[in-house]
Amino acid sequence: MPRALIWTDAQDTTIRRLRAEGETWDAIAAALGVARFTAIERGRRIGAPRPAPGPRVIREDPNRDPLPPGHPRSWGPLVAGTVLDGEAYPLPVFA
């Protein structure tokens, strides 16, 4: 039978601080030397805060007209990291 883990105030403070800084449960568990579920359960019991979401950033007008097929602003990200990376759109629309 596994022995019971006795939590200290320092460990609870560490959980709260790391959670507030946005650390993952895996990182918190590694820092404390416990299993991931053990850290999650302790965080739940002590009310460790969830990380606050960052500010929502809107980079362009959400009401703009859709981009046409093959537009450089949409074609580039779509093919990045594929065999088509760096290739022009197959139709000579923007050539």
pLDDT tens digits for 65-94? Answer: 988 888 888 888 888 999 988 888 887 765
From CA 28, how far away is CA 20, in angstroms rounded?
11
Average pLDDT of the segment spanning 15-23: 91
From CA 46, how far away is CA 14, in angstroms rounded?
12
Q: What is the CA angle 74-76-78, rounded to 5?
A: 70
Per the model's pLDDT, the better-predicted residue between 2 and 41 turns out to be: 41
From CA 38, how far away is CA 22, in angstroms rounded?
18
